[in-house]
Amino acid sequence: MDTINLTIDHKPVVVKKGTTILEAASGIGIDIPTLCHMKLEDLNIENKPGGCRICVVEVNGRRNLAPACCTEANDGMEVNTHSMRVINARRTVMELILSDHPFDCLVCAKSGNCDLQDMAHRLGIREIHYKGEQSTYREDTSPAIIREVDKCIMCRRCETMCNEVQTVGVLSAINRGFQSVVSPAFEMNLDHSVCTYCGQCVAVCPTGALTEVDETGKVIRALSDPTKTVIVQTAPAVRAALGEEFGMEAGTLVTGKLVAALKRLGFDYVFDTDFAADLTIMEEGTELLSRLQKHLDGDKDVKLPILTSCCPAWVKFFEHQFPEMKDIPSTARSPQQMFGAIAKTYLADKLGVKREDLVVVSIMPCVAKKYECGRDEFKTNDNPDVDYAITTRELGALIKLSSIDFKALPNEDFDHPLGESSGAGVIFGTTGGVIEAAVRTAYEVHTQKELPRLDFDELRGMEGIREATIDFNGLPIKIGIAHGLGNARKLLEDIQAGKSEFHAIEIMSCPGGCIGGGGQPYHHGNADVLKKRQMALYTEDRNKVIRKSHENPYIVKLYEEFLGKPMSEKAHHLLHTEYFDRT
């Protein structure tokens, strides 16, 4: 392998051929500032259009400054990353970017988390010497995502996520020169496009150009209404990330503090979406086994593989892009919606509260969940099963707003009956987790034997597409896993081409699964954050007394008292759904 010798700021460095100046510098502790560049290691996600020009460096013998993010290191190169020429150039570039950026930092949703704001501070910008025209675009509001394109700096990160990673293809740079902007085709609104609301554009946007719809106000109003009983569910991935909003290390589990905070916010009952995840396993696992049995019995009408259906962005993706395959995914609703349906029937009866007076709030790592709870099929007499879905970030804001010192909170426990969960429910928040949870239950139900082990390392990891074969007591079950919609597309195309031999496939839209969801604290391009959150969920699973969904006593009780058995008529009515052709 060819090696390259160069010096950066007079320090000699040896790197592999093909390494950029930016990477070479980072290897020796030199942190060249970048704005548009983003690389998520191990996830195959990189955005380097070389567009922002913040990362310019001086290369001895080269006439112009070189963008470090997309200039390869060469033998004998002498690089200076902070000469006066470099600093002046960076400041000028930054001032020019800021000259066409609204000056509303104080009231911007992204304030405090904005890469542009941080960069202006880092470069010591105290004055903008350039006055010029300002872009004005209309604001585009959808059920989940708001586009305020005036704040766009054309870094193209969202475009990379939407096109290359997710292959959804909604966002593209249009027009040219000063008029250029990132937009859906024909400048239509997001809600008219094939956007899945996965929120990965929001997750990587360095400014306030793309943000989630803020519903904290509605939650505060509900909590202040004495006529309402307000309950909350919290998704698995939230507990592995919320701490970051309060300066805690990524991957810190804050389950107990999360419950305590929700109680202090005034929720009447604090429940767990993990409970509904266990319920999902009962329904989806039973559906898998039923389809599998029919398939083994030679029924040609039964379709395999079965695909998971927990992720609303994934559901919207196949409704738009693969409508002819809409009978393959499991009909099981997502945990969020199962929880809502059970809360507004079973729980409302138990509490003696009318459906209209029960408000269900969910805390989700996701922006698509906002869209999901608004879907018509999840409403009864126009009353939604889940009233409001707010993101992990919005919860962080709500806690700060409510004078709660999060770090000082004691650990508290979820309420019953919808707060008990198994370790299987917890790992729903990471890629591979739903299918591992399903395996734990389906194996025991199918074989009538106890699983010899509970950790399925072959299903875990961060590779975009994974496959494994699990031995169901002599019956090999082939499992596929994809995270990121581009990877999901590959698996779907294989199924269409008849090349797929899987029995079951788990799909999550976001890289890493829900831990990397569009509603999570911003990772700022650091993939380690996602890995640490993933590890946290596996830790929580290991620490649980009950680790299999079908052993959750409150799930057993729910079937005894209310649902009958999995896939019963009642379960079908409340816990399953249908899909629509959206082309």
Partner 1 sequence: MPKIKLAEHTIELIKTICAEFGNKESELINVLHKVQGELGYLPAEVQEVIAKELKASVAKVYGVVTFYSFFTMIPQGEHPISICMGTACYVRGAEQVLSEFKRQLKVEVGESTEDGMFSINCLRCVGACGLAPVVTVGEKVYGRVAPTDVKKIIAEYRDGCTSDSKTA
- Compute the least distance from the CB of residue 166 to partner 1, in Å: 11
Q: In whole angstroms, how close is the CB of 488 to partner 1 at the nearest point?
A: 16
169 binds partner 1 (CB under 8 A): yes
Q: Determine if 166 is a binding residue for partner 1 (CB under 8 A).
A: no
Instruction: Provide the β-strand partners of residue 284.
Output: none
Nearest-approach distance from CB 189 to partner 1, in angstroms: 13
Under the binding rule (CB under 8 A), the answer on residue 135 touching partner 1 is: no
As a whole number of angstroms, the distance between CA 366 and CA 119 comes to 27
By CB under 8 A, residue 174 contacts partner 1:
yes
Contact, 520 vs 212, CB < 8 A? no
- Report if residue 496 touches partner 1, rule: CB under 8 A: no
**Residue from 58, 245, 372, 420 carrying the catalytic annotation:** 372
Pick the catalytic residue from 58, 212, 244, 284: 284
Q: Decide whether 184 or 340 has the Cβ nearer to partner 1.
A: 184
Is 287 among the catalytic positions?
A: yes
Q: Name the phi and psi angles at 229, rounded to 5.
A: -95, 120
Q: What gap in Å lies between CA 487 and CA 42, rounded to an integer?
A: 14
Determine which one of 195, 201, 310, 373 is catalytic: 310
212 as an active site residue: the answer is no
What are the backbone dihedrals phi and psi of residue 47, each rounded to the nearest 5 degrees, phi first?
-120, 110
Is residue 172 a contact point for partner 1 (CB under 8 A)? yes
Confirm whether 514 is a catalytic residue: yes
Per-position b or e across 168-197, b if 16+ CB within 10 A of its CB: bbbbeeeeeeeeebbbbeeeeebeebbbbb
Please state, as a whole number, how many other Cβ atoms lie within 10 Å of the Cβ of residue 42.
Answer: 15
Only segment of 39-47, 174-182, 211-219, 248-256 that touches partner 1 (CB under 8 A): 174-182
461 burial (CB, 10 Å; 0-12 / 13-18 / 19+) is middle
d(CA 81, CA 279): 55
Q: Which stretch binds partner 1 (CB under 8 A): 65-73, 171-179, 347-355, 456-464?
A: 171-179
Instruction: Pick the closer one to partner 1 by CB: 156 or 576.
Output: 156
The residue from 356, 377, 560, 561 that is catalytic is 377
Q: Give the CA distances from residue 202 to residues 244, 253, 429, 516, in Å, rounded to whole numbers and listed in that order.
A: 17, 24, 19, 12
Should residue 49 be labelled a site residue for partner 1 when binding is judged by CB under 8 A? Answer: no
Q: How many residues sit in the footprint of partner 1 (CB under 8 A)?
A: 15
Nearest Cα residue to 86 out of 9, 26, 27: 9
Nearest in space to 196 (alpha carbons), one of 529, 489, 528:
489
Catalytic residue selected from 142, 183, 330, 362? 330
> SS3 of 129, please?
coil
Say if residues 184 and 170 touch (Cβ distance below 8 Å): yes
| Residue from 99, 135, 141, 163 binding partner 1 (CB under 8 A) | 163
Task: Return the range that interacts with partner 1 (CB under 8 A); candidates 175-183, 331-339, 376-384, 508-516.
Answer: 175-183
310 is catalytic: yes
Kindly state the smallest distance separating residue 124's Cβ from partner 1, in Å.
35
Among 128, 173, 220, 454, binds partner 1 (CB under 8 A): 173
Task: Report in angstroms how near the CB of residue 188 gets to partner 1 at its nearest.
Answer: 9
377 is catalytic: yes
Pick the stretch among 176-184, 266-274, 459-467, 556-564 that binds partner 1 (CB under 8 A): 176-184
User: Measured from the CB of residue 396, what is the shortest distance to partner 1 in angstroms?
Assistant: 32
Q: Residues for the chain: how many in total? A: 583
Q: In Å, what is the CA distance from 578 to each residue of 80, 282, 509?
A: 60, 18, 19
Q: Which two tokens stand for residue 131?
A: 């006055």
Work out how close the CB of 180 gets to partner 1 at its nearest, in angstroms, rounded to a whole number: 8
Interaction pattern, residues 177-206, with partner 1; x per rule: CB under 8 A:
---x--xxxx--------------------
Measured CA to CA, the distance from residue 94 to residue 101 in angstroms comes to 11
> Cα(316)–Cα(416) distance, rounded to whole angstroms?
33
Shorter beta-carbon distance to partner 1: residue 66 or 190: 190
Q: Does 170 bind partner 1 (CB under 8 A)?
A: yes
Which stretch, 163-171, 220-228, 294-302, 521-529, contacts partner 1 (CB under 8 A)? 163-171
Segment contacting partner 1 by CB under 8 A, of 7-15, 166-174, 245-253, 425-433: 166-174
**Separation between Cα atoms, residue 476 and residue 460, nearest integer Å:** 18
Catalytic residue among 245, 283, 287, 394, which?
Answer: 287
Is 175 near partner 1 (CB under 8 A)?
yes
For 424-465, the DSSP string reads: HHHGGGSTTHHHHHHHHHHHHHHH-S--S-S--GGG-S--SE
Residue (of 250, 220, 455) closest to 361 by Cα position: 220
Please state, in angstroms and rounded to a whole number, the distance separating the CA atoms of residues 312 and 533.
Answer: 21
Q: Please say if 284 is a catalytic residue.
A: yes
Encoded one letter per residue, x for contact with partner 1 by CB under 8 A and - for no contact, window 397-416 reads --------------------
Residue 497 in contact with partner 1, rule: CB under 8 A: no
Q: How many angstroms separate the CA atoms of 537 and 526, rounded?
A: 18
Residue 28 in the binding site for partner 1 (CB under 8 A)? no
Residues catalogued as catalytic: 284, 287, 310, 330, 369, 372, 377, 514
Binding site for partner 1 (CB under 8 A): 163, 168-176, 180, 183-186
